[in-house]
Structure 1
C-alpha cells in the first residue's frame, strides 16, 4: 500500500466484507489486468455523465487506464451538455416527493429530470444542436460518413463550443477521449436526444440517415478492434447494465460462434457495478457466471459484481487505480 494515497488506503483498511470487499477486489483485479498489459473496456450505462463521473473518469482516460469505451448515446451527449450548460442545471433533492403536477411544471420550464438533477433543454440541447447540425451537413455535402462519437469529437475539437464552457475542460471525459481519439462504441445511439434530433432532420428531408454510421458498423468495428488488441487479454468493466454492456460483450461469442474464429480469447476480466439484483430474466441483474453459458467469459475469468450505487463505487475504484 506504500504507493497508494489516503483514499486507497482507507478502502483497503475498512472495506472488508460484502459489497465493500467486492469493490476492493474488483479494483485490485482491474489493476492486475493493466499491470500484465491487458487492455480494458469500460461501459457506461444510465446517466453517468449527468452524475459528473467525468471529473474522475477523464483522468482514467488521460492516464491510459481505459482503452475503449462503450456508452449510451445519453452519456455521449450529456457530458457535452454539462460542459456547456452546467450553471443552468437544477438539483431537486426531494425528487421522491414530487407530485405529477410538479413534474409537469418542470417540463413547462424546460427542465428534464434525471433522478435529482434537471437538464435545462434550451441551454443544453439547443446550444449543441446548431453546431452539430452544421457538422452533419458538412459531412454529407462532402460525401463523408462518421460514427456518432466521431461527430461529437469533431464538435469538441473544432472549438465552436468554447464560448459556452461552464466547467473546467479537464472534467469532461469526452474532451479527454477526443484528445486521444479513443475508440468508442455507442449502441442504440438513435435512442438519445441527439439521435432524435438527427431523425427529425431525416424526416424533414434535410439529412440522409446514412450520414451517421449504424450500430452494425459499430459491431464490425469492435470485432476488428478486439482481434487486434486481445494478445494480452481485454478486460470488461461494466457500470450499470443495459445495451451499453450487452452490445460490446457479445463481440466474443459472435467472433467465436458466428464467424467460427475458435481461437478468439474470452474477456480476461469482468466486473459489473449495478444496483439491479438477480431476478426474472434481467440482464442487468445477471450474475457473471451466466455469461459463461453464452460464451462471453471463461471458467477462470476473474469475475466481480458490486451491487451498489455506481456513483459511489466507480469513483472509489478509479481513485484506487489513480493511487489516490
Structure 2
C-alpha cells in the first residue's frame, strides 16, 4: 500500500474524511467492475495545478472522459508554457483596489492567490492556435474546441515553451490518448473570447467551431455506445456547467429520445463546498438527482463537502496507490 493511501486509510475515519475514503473505494470498485468514469472539472483546477495528479489518472486509464470548462482546458496549457512567469500572492485577502489595478497594469490576471501572466500565457498561445483555426477553416474543416487544442499540442509547436515537467500537464496526457472531452460553454473562456474577436473582425467564421449542441449530440452517442447495461460513473469536481451539462445526457436519452433502456449514471461523487439551503444546484445532495432521472435509487452516491484543491489530489493519490 502506498504511503498516502495508507495514511488516508488509517486517519480518515469520520465526517468529510470518511466520505473521501468511501468515495475513493466506490470509485475503485466501479473501475474493478470494468465500468467507465467521467470526471468533470469546474473552478480553476488547472491553475491549481491539478494536472500533477490528474495526468497520471489519465495515463493509468482511471479516467475515460472529461467534461471541463473552457478555462480549465486552456489554463493547463497556459501553465505548461508560462509557469515561470506566474506570480503567487499569498496575502491576496489584503489587496486594495489600487493593488488590483497595479496587477492589471502589469498584465497579471489574478485567480485567488495566483496571477496568470497575460503576455506569456495568453499571447504565447494565441498566434499558434489562430493558425490551427485558420488552417482548418481554409480546408473546410470543423472541429470541437478541445480537438483544435489537441491538434496544437500534438504538432509539437509548443514544446519550445515548456516550463513544467510535461508529465504534469493533463492536457498533454489527454491529447496523447485522444481522450473524449466535452467543453460546454467554451465561448466564455479566454480563447473563446479571442475566437469571437476574430469572427467579429471577419478573419474567422463562427461555424468553424463546433457548438455546444453538437457536443451534446456527440455525448449522447458516446453514452449510448459506452454505458452498456450498467452505466458510466460520474466524478464531479465543483459545480457549474462542467457538471450540469454532461449529467443531463441520461434524462435526455431516456425522456426526450424515449430510449427507456438507457442506464442511469452508475456512480456519483461530488466534491463541493456549496450550500444546499441557498438554492444552489451545485450544492444539491445526490438524492435530488433521482427526481430528475439522472441517478437511480441504487446508484452509489457520495458528496465530500470540502475544498476540491485539497480533496481531489488525495482521492487521486488513493486510487493511484501512491
Q: TM-score range by the shorter chain?
A: over 0.9
Q: Which one of the candidate residues 76, 81, 85 is aligned to 1:84?
A: 81
1:53 counterpart = 2:50: yes
1:42 counterpart = 2:29: no
Match of 1:239 in 2: 237
CA distance in 2, matches of 1:164, 1:280: 44
Q: With the length of structure 2 as denominator, give the TM-score of the two structures.
A: 0.99
Match of 1:319 in 2: 317
Q: Which one of the candidate residues 10, 13, 36 is aligned to 2:10?
A: 13
CA distance in 1, matches of 2:107, 2:195: 20
CA distance in 1, matches of 2:3, 2:161: 36
Matched residue SS, 1:167:
coil
Q: Which one of the candidate residues 182, 199, 202 is aligned to 2:179?
A: 182
1:128 counterpart = 2:138: no
Q: Which one of the candidate residues 64, 71, 76 is aligned to 1:74?
A: 71
Q: With the length of structure 1 as denominator, give the TM-score of the two structures.
A: 0.98
Q: Which one of the candidate residues 192, 195, 210 is aligned to 2:192?
A: 195
Deviations 1:88-128 (A, max 9, x none): 00000011111111011101100000000000000000000
Deviation at 1:146, TM superposition (A): 0.3
Deviations 1:261-288 (A, max 9, x none): 0000000000000111212321111111
List alignment gaps of at least 5 residues for structure 2: none
Match of 1:306 in 2: 304
Matched residue SS, 1:151:
helix
Deviation at 1:48, TM superposition (A): 0.4
Match of 1:213 in 2: 210
Matched residue SS, 1:276:
coil
Deviation at 1:299, TM superposition (A): 0.7
Match of 2:102 in 1: 105
The range that moved more, 199-208 or 225-234, is: 225-234
Deviations 1:109-163 (A, max 9, x none): 0000000000000000000000000000000000000000000000101011111
CA distance in 2, matches of 1:158, 1:36: 36
Deviation at 1:6, TM superposition (A): 1.0
Match of 1:267 in 2: 265
CA distance in 2, matches of 1:97, 1:240: 26
CA distance in 2, matches of 1:285, 1:101: 34
List alignment gaps of at least 5 residues for structure 1: none
Deviation at 1:300, TM superposition (A): 1.1
Q: Quote the RMSD (CA, aligned, Å).
A: 0.6
CA distance in 1, matches of 2:14, 2:276: 20
After superposing on structure 2, the runs of 4+ consecutive aligned residues of structure 1 that deviate more than 6 Å are none
1:277–1:307 Cα contact (<8 Å) kept: no
1:70–1:184 Cα contact (<8 Å) kept: yes
Deviations 1:226-271 (A, max 9, x none): 0011114210000000000000000000000000000000000000
1:160 counterpart = 2:146: no
CA distance in 2, matches of 1:238, 1:13: 25
